[in-house]
Structure 1
Amino acid sequence: MARIFITGSTQGLGLAAARTLIAQGHDVVVHARTAQRAGDLGEIAGEAAGVVVGDLAVRAETIALADEVNELGRMDAVIHNAGVYTESRRVATPEGHARVLAVNVLAPYLLTAKLQRPSRLVFLTSGMHRSGTASLDDVDWLTRRWEAYQAYSDSKLLVSALAFALARRWPEVASNAVDPGWVPTRMGGPNAPDDLEQGHLTQAWLAAGEDDDARTSGGYWYHQRRREPAAPVRDEAFQDAVVAKLAELTRVDLPN
């Protein structure tokens, strides 16, 4: 059985993945942004191998979260599920970063750099990454006019490139990006047309599946099938530039 850490697992896709993996007999560490959210976990809190709390928009809390998970022991897999969409640029982190960038990109990078290295990494992306701008100028939206759709799309392009960069840099780790589809979660809204059940199964499968496909690396997945991502995701120069920018913004280097 695997030990798996899932960020943003108090609701939606993260909670569904946690329930599936726990039902399969895996040890799952769940994450809540606040103690109040942790209190809403219900029966999952008692079934999980651990519950950790921390706001992924805050650098200090993210690093403390990594330390807390490390104290529980090395994880076999980490699912970077947490994400935000509609947060205004005005809702910034203490460091001044746009919250969308902080939660969707900086936190997965920081946790990956600080956690004991797992065997598998799963990064939640979106089909909207295809609308992302392959530029690292003003990633914090300090000079651009705020556009929520574009900021979210940019963040998903960056985290997809990060997943592919890690697959190349760490060949011993299976690192993949997952597009869950437009599913009816709190983020996706009640009218989202995709299948919530299918939306969470791919990340659970990539985290703990035993078949050959689940053990592969450097893939962009949708409903357990590989799809071709936007061209910048496969561009090694862009991948390296993304890693360098994230190291600059977080002041933490990615280990070799």
Structure 2
Amino acid sequence: MSRIFISGSSTGLGLMAGELLAGQGHKVVLHARNPDRAEDARKAQPRAEAVVTGDVATIAGARDVAAQVNALGRFDAVIHNAGVGYREAYRPTADGLPHVFAINTLSTYILTALIERPGRLVYLSSGMHHQTDANLDDILWKERRWYGAQAYSETKLHDVMLAFAVARLWPGVFSNALEPGWVPTKMGGPGAPDDMRQAHLTQAWLAAGDDPKADVTGKYFYHLKRMDPNPQARDPKLQDRLIAICAEISGVAFPNE
């Protein structure tokens, strides 16, 4: 059985994946933004080994979450699930960053770089990443007028880029990305048309390590099936540039070895 950490797992797909994995006998550690959400997560998933608490919207908060995870010992897999949605207004964080970027892109980078390297990494993207550009020249929206859906789409492309960069730079790790579908979570909204019963299965499957078919890296999935990502996600130059930008903004170096 595996030991798995899931970021952003006090509600929604993260909690659902945690429930599924715990039910399969895996040891699961959840993550909540604040103590109230942590308590809700404990009640919802009493089989969880622990609940890490911290707000990844800030660089210091993401660093602290990574430190808490490392204090619990090494994990076999990490599911990067924390995120905010496409209907968000522009809100700067305490670090002066657009909070959609800070949570969806930068915190995912920080947790990847600082959590002791697991055997499996799983990154949640979105179908909206297919129709966008990485826009690394204006990643912080200093030149453009804010558009929440576009900002969200870009960050979900960044997540796939990061997954594929890890697959390239860390050959001993299975690193993959997926889209869960447009499902009626708090983020997706009540009118989302996709099947909620399918939305959490792929990330749990990729993280668990129970199926040799999941022993792949640098792949993109939708409902347990491979599909093609946005072509920009596979560009090593763009991947390296994204890593360099995130390292500069966060002050967290990416461990290439």
TM-score, normalised with respect to structure 1: 0.97
**Match in the other structure for 1:207:** 207
For structure 1, the 5+ residue unaligned runs are: none
Cα deviation digits, residues 145-165 of structure 1 (max 9, x gap): 000010001111111101000
Q: Partner letter of residue 104 of structure 1?
A: N
Q: Partner letter of residue 69 of structure 1?
A: V
The answer on whether the counterparts of 1:132 and 1:155 sit within 8 Å (CA) in structure 2 is no
State the alpha-carbon separation in 1 of the partners of residues 44 and 59 from structure 2. 27
**Match in the other structure for 1:100:** 100
Q: Partner letter of residue 169 of structure 2?
A: R
Q: Which moved more, 1:124-133 or 1:18-27?
A: 124-133
Structure 1 residue 121 and structure 2 residue 124: aligned? no
Map 1:60-79; keep pairs closer than 5 Å.
60-79=60-79
State the alpha-carbon separation in 2 of the partners of residues 255 and 33 from structure 1. 26
Shift of 1:46: 2.8
Among all aligned residue pairs of Structure 1 and Structure 2, give the percentage whose two residues are the same amino acid: 53
State the alpha-carbon separation in 2 of the partners of residues 211 and 23 from structure 1. 16
Total equivalences in the alignment: 255
**Match in the other structure for 1:12:** 12
State the alpha-carbon separation in 2 of the partners of residues 103 and 64 from structure 1. 14
**Match in the other structure for 1:88:** 89
The answer on whether the counterparts of 1:58 and 1:93 sit within 8 Å (CA) in structure 2 is yes
The answer on whether the counterparts of 2:42 and 2:51 sit within 8 Å (CA) in structure 1 is no
The answer on whether the counterparts of 2:63 and 2:111 sit within 8 Å (CA) in structure 1 is yes
The answer on whether the counterparts of 2:6 and 2:14 sit within 8 Å (CA) in structure 1 is yes
The answer on whether the counterparts of 1:123 and 1:176 sit within 8 Å (CA) in structure 2 is yes
Q: Partner letter of residue 99 of structure 1?
A: H
State the alpha-carbon separation in 1 of the partners of residues 44 and 76 from structure 2. 20
For structure 2, the 5+ residue unaligned runs are: none
State the alpha-carbon separation in 2 of the partners of residues 132 and 94 from structure 1. 27
State the alpha-carbon separation in 2 of the partners of residues 12 and 201 from structure 1. 13
TM-score, normalised with respect to structure 2: 0.96
Shift of 1:42: 4.6
**Match in the other structure for 1:219:** 219
Give the CA RMSD over aligned residues: 1.1
State the alpha-carbon separation in 1 of the partners of residues 113 and 174 from structure 2. 15
**Match in the other structure for 2:192:** 192
State the alpha-carbon separation in 2 of the partners of residues 32 and 54 from structure 1. 6
